[in-house]
Amino acid sequence: MNLDYQLDGPDGAPVIVLSNSLGTTRAMWQPQIEALTAHFRVLRYDTHGHGKTTKNGKVTLAQLGEDVIALLDHLNIDRAWFCGISMGGLTGLWLGRFAPERFHGLAVANTAARIGDQASWLSRARAVRQEGMAVVAAGAADRWFTHAFRQKAPEVVKGALSPADPYRC
């Protein structure tokens, strides 16, 4: 298995897969784990180039979806619930289209079938190649948290972002 993952919760409980957003790790879900493990086995993973999962060449949306299926297969999980945010939500949309039989249901947030335009993605890719993923993560923090919250709870903000850097393409 080429993804770093964590599986928490009681054996025999239904499984929910949590998929993180660009520039974050599976740790972004930590505040929800206690509540979710009361009802589910919670499967979190770091996508390519995030956290403890290394980048494996050019990463496509299909590869992100296929990674989830491979992880489920690796763990002998036939069906699961899925929850993804932003990039993780986009992965969920792919899974709903190409592997619906593997999921009881999908919850996707802050995502769309197409996110941004080509120019903005090319600009982001150029920045990551030159400066690493930290530049994208820093921008995410500015969008996700108000200035006041970033000042009041910097440890929460830091914990939500991917600690591994540099991610060089």
Q: What is the dihedral of CA 107, 86, 90, 134, to 10 degrees?
A: -140
Pairing assessment for the beta strands 41-45 and 5-8 based on DSSP bridges:
antiparallel
**Dist. CA 24–CA 47, nearest whole Å:** 9
pLDDT (tens, 9 = 90+) of the chain, 169 residues, equals 688 899 999 999 999 999 998 778 888 888 899 999 999 999 999 887 776 766 766 778 889 899 999 999 999 999 999 999 988 999 999 999 999 999 999 999 988 777 667 777 678 778 777 877 677 776 777 777 888 988 898 887 777 665 544 443 3
What is the reported pTM?
0.73
Q: Which amino acid is at 97?
A: R
Residue 44 · residue 84 · CB < 8 Å? no
How is the chain split into domains, by residue range?
5-160
Q: Report the candidate in 4, 2, 1 with the shortest Cα–Cα distance to residue 164.
A: 4
CATH class of segment(s) 5-160: alpha beta
